[in-house]
């Protein structure tokens, strides 16, 4: 199997050059739509469950989408490596739009869950295909900038998505949270299409060896992830049993989907993917505990606590902007180290809000530092993944990067829920424990950051 791409004689030097403008606008728009739906559904779902009398399927509406996304990420990586990103991109958009339409027109909760599963599968296909598009369509000097644009495309929905979804639910009805997006998604895909057509198709007629086995392991990982999500919303012995079973399933399945040497942090790509997972675990663990901690320990209103999270989202965008405009660092480990140092210091410093009599401002500033670190880290790891991937492996490795990220976040969410539910009610001990785990994940990543540089033999 060989892979070639059409490389122009004079590579564009700007994301908005005529050759890349439509591709950039369409790709960023697709990322924004994926982000908006991921965030808006959480706002709308309580109303949806009441309207369709489906509270018993509430958790499955989230877990099913996440599980199908896990399978789709692996399938998309295989597909992109075999046939290029164009088929996976178009199929992903079709599945995404179809799922939104099914969910938006559902008359029962069961049908809505089906729509969410279809939507999640489409999201997984598109998210990996977009990374492969970056690897094939954008010259190396622009990859930091396009990934910074992707980061900004997530930040804007995180700032306005929940509020906008709430307004839509209140004034137009919950169905429009789903039905307002398909037309925009199709338009964005049409903008990307000319650039996809310009890429030379991969010369291959069959999937790579072991593809069917990888799909099987992905199904196992997806089922385990759904069980983990469900278990994280339960309480007591049931939660502990479900989470334990889910983690066992992930430990069995996930190593078959990630690069060899991932668990031992082998130099190069395994560590790149491992750092992304650790950073995701650290940030998510702190992010989910901050609103509850500020509300219970400092009397913050939901709006006030939300504004603190907004500070982290904005600083994430700033960090992404900074890394996209600096020259190539002397070492590939420079930006990951800086990012993980910020994440470690920031997540640990958030715990200062638990100290009675100490102003909350230092904790807010620390959360801004953590967000800055994520902005420095995420795009740089995406760039390193493409740099260390042969053209025929960009799909597989992009899939592994996002898979590790998603599963780490899901795992820490479930475990955080279990920690906070361990006592009669969440309190300082549970908050401090969660933040300590977050800081420990960041510190472990910081200690391993130098291993993103491949050994000379590779």
DSSP assignment of 65-78 equals: HHHHHHHHHHHHHH
pLDDT over 90 (residue 394): no
| Tokens, residue 207 | 């999937």
The set of long-range contacts for 3-12, using a CB threshold of 8 Å and a minimum separation of 24, is 3/81, 3/84, 3/202, 3/203, 3/204, 3/390, 3/391, 3/392, 4/200, 4/202, 4/203, 4/391, 5/136, 5/137, 5/199, 5/200, 5/391, 6/198, 6/199, 6/200, 11/139, 11/141, 12/139, 12/142
For the stretch 46-101, pLDDT in tens is 888 888 887 777 777 877 888 888 899 999 998 888 888 888 988 999 999 999 99
The answer to whether 59 and 410 are in contact (CB under 8 A) is: no
High-pLDDT (> 90) share of the chain, %: 28
- pLDDT, mean of residues 7-25: 70
> What predicted TM-score, i.e. pTM, was given to this entire model?
0.84
2 forms bridges with which residues in the sheet?
203
Q: What domains can be seen in the chain, in order of their start residue? A: 17-208 (1.20.1250.20), 261-457 (1.20.1250.20)
The answer to whether 196 and 73 are in contact (CB under 8 A) is: no
pLDDT over 50 (residue 311): yes
Give the model's confidence band at 307: pLDDT under 50 very low, under 70 low, under 90 confident, else very high.
Answer: confident
The answer to whether 278 and 113 are in contact (CB under 8 A) is: no
Q: Could you tell me which of 283, 276, 281 has the C-alpha nearest to residue 259?
A: 276
Give the model's confidence band at 102: pLDDT under 50 very low, under 70 low, under 90 confident, else very high.
Answer: very high
Distances (CA, A) of 446 to 151, 190, 227, 408: 21, 41, 31, 17
């Amino acid at each position: 199997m060989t892979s070639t791409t059409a490389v122009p004689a004079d590579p564009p030097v700007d994301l908005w050059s005529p050759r890349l403008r439509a591709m950039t606008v369409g790709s960023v728009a697709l990322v924004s739509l994926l982000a908006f739906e991921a965030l808006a559904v959480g706002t709308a779902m309580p109303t949806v469950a009441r309207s369709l009398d489906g509270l018993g399927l509430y958790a499955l509406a989230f877990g099913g989408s996440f599980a199908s996304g896990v399978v789709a990420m692996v399938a998309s990586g295989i597909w992109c490596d075999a046939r290029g990103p164009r088929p996976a991109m178009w199929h992903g958009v079709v599945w995404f739009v179809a799922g939104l339409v099914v969910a938006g027109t559902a008359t029962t909760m069961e049908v809505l869950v089906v729509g969410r599963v279809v939507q999640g599968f489409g999201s997984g296909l598109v998210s990996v295909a977009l990374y492969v598009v970056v690897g094939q369509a954008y010259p190396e000097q622009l990859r930091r900038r396009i990934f910074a644009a992707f980061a900004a495309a997530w930040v804007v929905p995180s700032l306005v998505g929940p509020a906008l979804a709430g307004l839509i639910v209140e004034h137009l009805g919950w169905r429009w949270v789903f039905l307002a997006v398909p037309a925009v998604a199709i338009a964005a895909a049409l903008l990307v299409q000319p650039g996809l057509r310009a890429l030379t198709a991969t010369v291959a007629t069959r999937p790579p060896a072991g593809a069917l086995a990888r799909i099987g392991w992905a199904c196992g990982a997806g089922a385990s992830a759904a069980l983990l999500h469900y278990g994280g919303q339960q309480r007591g012995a049931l939660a502990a049993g479900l989470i334990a079973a889910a983690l066992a399933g992930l430990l069995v399945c996930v190593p078959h989907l990630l690069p060899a040497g991932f668990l031992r942090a082998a130099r190069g790509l395994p560590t790149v993917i491992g750092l992304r997972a650790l950073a995701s675990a650290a940030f998510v663990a702190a992010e989910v505990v901050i609103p509850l901690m500020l509300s219970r320990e400092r009397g913050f209103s939901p709006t006030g606590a939300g504004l603190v999270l907004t500070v982290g989202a904005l600083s994430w965008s700033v960090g992404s902007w900074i890394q996209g405009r600096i020259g190539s660092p002397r070492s590939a480990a420079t930006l990951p180290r800086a990012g993980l140092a910020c994440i470690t210091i920031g997540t640990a410093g958030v715990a200062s809000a638990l100290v009675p009599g100490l102003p909350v401002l230092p904790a807010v500033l620390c959360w801004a530092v953590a967000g800055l670190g994520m902005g420095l880290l995420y795009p740089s790891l995406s760039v390193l993944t493409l740099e260390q991937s042969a053209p025929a492996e960009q799909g597989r490795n992009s899939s592994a990067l996002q898979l590790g990220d998603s599963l780490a976040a899901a795992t820490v969410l479930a475990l955080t829920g279990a920690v906070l539910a361990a006592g009669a009610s969440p309190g300082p001990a549970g908050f401090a424990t969660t933040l300590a785990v977050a800081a420990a994940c960041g510190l472990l990543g910081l200690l391993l950051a130098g291993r993103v540089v491949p050994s000379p033999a590779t």
